[in-house]
A and B are shown apart, each in its own frame.
Chain A
Amino acid sequence: MKMTMHRTLHLGRPAKAASTWKKCLLTLAASLAIGGAHAAEVNTTGLAVTDTSVKVGILHSVTGTMAISETGSVQAEKLAIDQINAMGGVLGRKIEFIQEDGASDWPTFAEKSKKLLVNDKVAAVFGCWTSASRKAVLPIFEQYNGMLYYPTFYEGLEQSPNVIYTGQEATQQIIAGIDWVVKTKGAKSFYLLGSDYIWPRTSNKIARKHIEKLGLSVVGEEYYPLGHTQFNSVINKIKLKKPDVIYAIVVGGSNVAFYKQLKAAGIDMTKEKPLVLTISVTEDEILGIGGENMVGAYAAMKYFQSLPNDNNKKFVADFKAKYGKDIVIGDVTQAAYLGPWLWKAAVEKAGSFDIDKVRAASPGIELTTAPEGYVKVHPNHHLWSKTRIGYARTDGQYDVVFETKDLIEPDPFPKGYQ
């Protein structure tokens, strides 16, 4: 009953007088109820919050080509929500999630995000994976003032007041990786390679600028359409140019073809001549590529399943307990897991579910329990995080061979890299 009153109060557009009258009634009802802060106090903008529950949205592709990548994120977000509920919820309210399927289709993402914000009045949305889906929903989140927790490492060049980016932006991932390969492996020449869309292109632009800044050379830069499976010509070019490093940002199904053909062409990555450094292959992708085809490659990202800290051991154990012991956890899955926790921390700091208050409270939020270790929200809505280098083993896992000493500051609009 209270719920329905609430809805009429905030969702419809009743006459002002009626609204005030109902507000009086509601306050009366609320003051009679037992308990701490009431829904009306922690939620002044009509979100789906009651005295016992709060609704959030999960918006990923569970069908279509992206389903294979996004499933891990859905699982991680549900795990985090379960754990938060087991601890008593957020501001004493259990989280209820409404899951929508983006169906690997950007207009569908836009439609569903609008549904979550306008019809369901969710207090936060955890979702999106590709940049294209994020770009499609962004105007909607800004127009209806929603809050999106976006988990994927991405190209940067964006800083929306309505998004918290829990993955790394490009400079965090790229610069540390290139510095490491130059310093410890003595790399002098690079061959840049990627799938043809915004993230690989922007990332390679940053990589090229950084490599040139270091006085080293880029001997080739090429892009292939998403889903491309014929990499023989580029592999021949690579053999001809003999770069020290193949810097690969191939995504999705193309990865399988690329690494298999690389191996078939006689390039043994374990010999590190050339060395392969990627920022796009997580443990999830290796499942498809096959560990034996990937062994010897290096990856630069912020999280690997094999990270030895206690937070991560617990996270991996919980994840396997819920989803089976053979499940693998990649970088984005971990970043998705941070979403609900960061939101919980921000809501509790703000003492309110109101989007504006949560936004104001977000910068400076810290998580000491994150599987990747300590993270902190920067005023630019990205996370301070460390970058690690992993060495691919035959079993599809990475050994962490390097970790930056300090947290790296997120810099979505890097000066001198554009």
Chain B
Amino acid sequence: MSYQRFSALFPKKEMMGFIVLAIILAVVLPLSLDIFRLNLVGKYLTYAFVAVGLVLCWGYGGILSLGQGVFFGLGGYAMAMFLKLEASDPESTKIQSTPGIPDFMDWNQLTELPFFWEPFHSFGFTIAAIILLPCIFGYIVGVAMFKRRVGGVYFAIITQALAAILTILIIGQQGYTGGVNGMTDLRTLHGYDIRTDSAKYLFYFVCVFMLFVCLFVAQFIRKSKLGRLLVAMRDKEDRVRFSGYDVANFKIFVFCIGGVFAAIGGAMFTLQVGFMSPTLVGIVPSIEMVIFCAVGGRLSIIGAVYGALIVNAAKTSFSESFPELWLFAMGGLFIAVVMAFPNGLAGLYNTYAAPKVDAFFAKLFTKKPAVATTAPPPAITPSVSKPVVTKTETPVIPQGAIHE
């Protein structure tokens, strides 16, 4: 990638955002937290995958999905199935009536492994399933909805119904899925004990790495023509359609991407927490994930990560301090954020902190005039405030995108 393309993808100010986040996640937190807290942060980060996906779908594409838990669950269950099979070798399950199958199947009078479990013996297949299952599922849902121009509230309701359906399916088919208990007691990954502290460190860093991969993909989409089209579609779908674009295809694509992000998050969740259950699939967690995104700022991919981290950290600390009242505190927090700062933390940052930070850096850079004056091209505004700007100048962007 040439320097110009790189700097177009990562304008200096946005680059700073990535670097700061990377430093916090990869250096500051691991050094300052004990393994228990770090593991918790790792768990929160798995929700950040979903939130980043939602920024693309909802913040940019205007597609509000209240069923991201479905994708989180697909990824999480795929990983859990692999780990569960490994934990159910005939030796450690010899007290069962049928050794060698997962314990919950034995309780449910199953006597052999169902056919769709067989491929999950392979780690390669599992990884492929984590990526492809949500893609296929997202594609089917997307084609069914967007090709018929179902959108907005109706789409949100349907995704919510999907989350409910999947939960009922998992709970009802407990012989195949572990039911309401979920899949618990996962032990090793290719013989590597996932419950040890060193494994938790490892998975934390894997999780941070994967999150950055997703963030870069998201950034690439934002900065590409596709990203501009998404914003255009969100703000005036008809104009984009009249210009000859097949709006549905773009929506399907971004919905699938959001789904894949969520599934990767789900798989990382299973690895770090050690189990998967239907409580992470249903309507409530799906809506919570939208809240993480809203608190962070639905127009900022970096903000979404902070949103997931901060909301969950608040959840943990409130519930540790006030076990009987914490839900009210959380409710209050959400209402306050939505009422007072509709653009979330990122909006807050851009309005109050960003000008000062910019001024500080401007001062810093003017000492080396040659670099500073040429670097930021005027067309590119800071990451998070940009969509706010586009909203007021709606027609400009779609037209620009169309005539390219």
Q: Does B88 contact A (CB under 8 A)?
A: no
Contact A136–B277 (Cβ < 8 Å): yes
Q: Which residues of A contact B320 (CB under 8 A)?
A: 100, 115
Q: Does B237 contact A (CB under 8 A)?
A: no
Which residue of chain B has the shortest Cβ distance to A155 in the bound complex?
A: B107
Which residue of chain B has the shortest Cβ distance to A101 in the bound complex?
A: B323
Given that A100-B323, A107-B279, A138-B184 are known contacts, is A198 also in contact with B171, CB under 8 Å in the complex?
A: no
Q: Does A196 contact B (CB under 8 A)?
A: yes
Contact A202–B107 (Cβ < 8 Å): yes
Contact B168–A225 (Cβ < 8 Å): yes
Q: For the complex, what is the distance from the CA of A202 to the CA of B107, rounded to whole Å?
A: 7
Q: For the complex, what is the distance from the CA of A108 to the CA of B316, rounded to whole Å?
A: 9
Q: Does A394 contact B (CB under 8 A)?
A: no
Q: Does B243 contact A (CB under 8 A)?
A: no
Q: Does B181 contact A (CB under 8 A)?
A: yes
Q: For the complex, what is the distance from the CA of A136 to the CA of B186, rounded to whole Å?
A: 10
Pick from B109, B171, B186, B280: contact of A225, CB under 8 Å:
B171
Q: Does A319 contact B (CB under 8 A)?
A: no
Give min CB distance, B151 to chain A, whole Å.
Answer: 31
Contact B324–A114 (Cβ < 8 Å): no
Q: Does A413 contact B (CB under 8 A)?
A: yes
Contact B185–A62 (Cβ < 8 Å): no
Contact A115–B107 (Cβ < 8 Å): no
Q: Which of chain B's residues 166-200 have a Cβ closer than 8 Å to chain A?
A: 168, 171-172, 174, 179-182, 184-187, 195
Contact B275–A226 (Cβ < 8 Å): no
Q: Does A191 contact B (CB under 8 A)?
A: no
Type the 1/0 row for B294-307, where 1 means its CB is closer than 8 Å to any CB of A: 00000000000000
Given that A100-B319, A135-B184 are known contacts, is A106 also in contact with B279, CB under 8 Å in the complex?
A: yes
Give min CB distance, B141 to chain A, whole Å.
Answer: 24
Contact B174–A197 (Cβ < 8 Å): yes
Given that A135-B185, A139-B195, A201-B108 are known contacts, is A196 also in contact with B324, CB under 8 Å in the complex?
A: no
Type the 1/0 row for A82-125, where 1 means its CB is closer than 8 Å to any CB of B: 00000000000000000111010111101110110011000000
Q: For the complex, what is the distance from the CA of A138 to the CA of B326, rounded to whole Å?
A: 25
Q: For the complex, what is the distance from the CA of A36 to the CA of B393, rounded to whole Å?
A: 78
Q: For the complex, what is the distance from the CA of A198 to the CA of B185, rounded to whole Å?
A: 16
B-side interface residues, number (CB < 8 Å): 38
Which residue of chain B has the shortest Cβ distance to A67 in the bound complex?
A: B324
Contact A115–B36 (Cβ < 8 Å): yes
Contact A110–B323 (Cβ < 8 Å): no
Which residue of chain B has the shortest Cβ distance to A223 in the bound complex?
A: B172
Q: Does A157 contact B (CB under 8 A)?
A: yes
Give min CB distance, B248 to chain A, whole Å.
Answer: 35
Q: Does B273 contact A (CB under 8 A)?
A: yes
Pick from A105, A136, A413: contact of B184, CB under 8 Å:
A136
Contact B279–A105 (Cβ < 8 Å): yes
Q: For the complex, what is the distance from the CA of A197 to the CA of B186, rounded to whole Å?
A: 20
Contact A62–B36 (Cβ < 8 Å): no
Q: Does A257 contact B (CB under 8 A)?
A: no
Q: Which residues of B contact A205 (CB under 8 A)?
A: 109
Q: Which of chain A's residues 360-418 have a Cβ closer than 8 Å to chain B?
A: 413, 418
Contact B274–A139 (Cβ < 8 Å): yes
Give min CB distance, B165 to chain A, whole Å.
Answer: 12
Contact A226–B181 (Cβ < 8 Å): no
Q: Does A143 contact B (CB under 8 A)?
A: yes
Q: For the complex, what is the distance from the CA of A132 to the CA of B187, rounded to whole Å?
A: 18
Q: Which residues of A contact B334 (CB under 8 A)?
A: none
Q: For the complex, what is the distance from the CA of A112 to the CA of B319, rounded to whole Å?
A: 9
Contact A196–B174 (Cβ < 8 Å): yes
Q: Does A63 contact B (CB under 8 A)?
A: yes
Q: For the complex, what is the distance from the CA of A57 to the CA of B324, rounded to whole Å?
A: 15
Contact A197–B179 (Cβ < 8 Å): yes
Pick from B34, B107, B274: contact of A110, CB under 8 Å:
B274
Q: Which residues of A contact B274 (CB under 8 A)?
A: 110, 139-140
Give min CB distance, B49 to chain A, whole Å.
Answer: 16
Type the 1/0 row for B34-59, where 1 means its CB is closer than 8 Å to any CB of A: 11100110010000000000000000
Give min CB distance, B266 to chain A, whole Å.
Answer: 12
Q: For the complex, what is the distance from the CA of A63 to the CA of B329, rounded to whole Å?
A: 13
Q: Which residues of B contact A139 (CB under 8 A)?
A: 184-187, 195, 274-275
Q: Which residues of A contact B185 (CB under 8 A)?
A: 135, 138-139
Q: Does B327 contact A (CB under 8 A)?
A: yes
Contact B275–A136 (Cβ < 8 Å): yes
Q: Does B203 contact A (CB under 8 A)?
A: no
Q: Which of chain B's residues 289-347 have a Cβ closer than 8 Å to chain A?
A: 316, 319-320, 323-324, 326-327
Contact B95–A196 (Cβ < 8 Å): no
Which residue of chain A has the shortest Cβ distance to B104 in the bound complex?
A: A198
Pick from A63, A107, A132, A418: contact of B327, CB under 8 Å:
A63
Q: For the complex, what is the distance from the CA of A62 to the CA of B172, rounded to whole Å?
A: 26
Give min CB distance, B201 to chain A, whole Å.
Answer: 14
Which residue of chain A has the shortest Cβ distance to B171 in the bound complex?
A: A225
Q: Which of chain B's residues 114-162 have a Cβ closer than 8 Å to chain A?
A: none
Q: Does A131 contact B (CB under 8 A)?
A: yes
Q: For the complex, what is the distance from the CA of A119 to the CA of B184, rounded to whole Å?
A: 23
Q: Which residues of A contact B171 (CB under 8 A)?
A: 196-197, 225-226
Contact B43–A111 (Cβ < 8 Å): yes
Give min CB distance, B171 to chain A, whole Å.
Answer: 6
Give min CB distance, B385 to chain A, whole Å.
Answer: 35
Pick from A108, A112, A225: contact of B172, CB under 8 Å:
A225
Q: Which residues of A contact B97 (CB under 8 A)?
A: 418
Q: Which residues of A contact B319 (CB under 8 A)?
A: 100-101, 103, 108, 112
Q: For the complex, what is the distance from the CA of A111 to the CA of B274, rounded to whole Å?
A: 11
Q: Which of chain A's residues 25-75 have a Cβ closer than 8 Å to chain B?
A: 62-63
Given that A106-B279, A107-B273, A157-B107 are known contacts, is A118 also in contact with B181, CB under 8 Å in the complex?
A: no
Give min CB distance, A249 to chain B, whole Å.
Answer: 14
Give min CB distance, A252 to chain B, whole Å.
Answer: 11
Contact A198–B181 (Cβ < 8 Å): yes
Give min CB distance, B374 to chain A, whole Å.
Answer: 50
Q: For the complex, what is the distance from the CA of A396 to the CA of B349, rounded to whole Å?
A: 58
Where the two chains meet, the residues of A that have a C-beta atom closer than 8 Å to any C-beta of B are: 62-63, 99-101, 103, 105-108, 110-112, 114-115, 118-119, 130-132, 135-136, 138-140, 143, 155, 157, 196-198, 201-202, 205, 225-226, 413, 418
In order of increasing CB-CB distance, the 3 nearest A-B pairs are: A101-B323, A132-B181, A135-B184
New contact pairs (7) apart from A114-B39, A130-B180, A198-B174, CB-CB < 8 Å: A106-B275, A135-B275, A136-B184, A136-B275, A139-B195, A139-B274, A157-B107
A-B contact pairs, 10 of them (CB 8 A): A101-B323, A101-B326, A118-B34, A132-B182, A136-B181, A139-B186, A155-B107, A197-B171, A201-B107, A201-B108
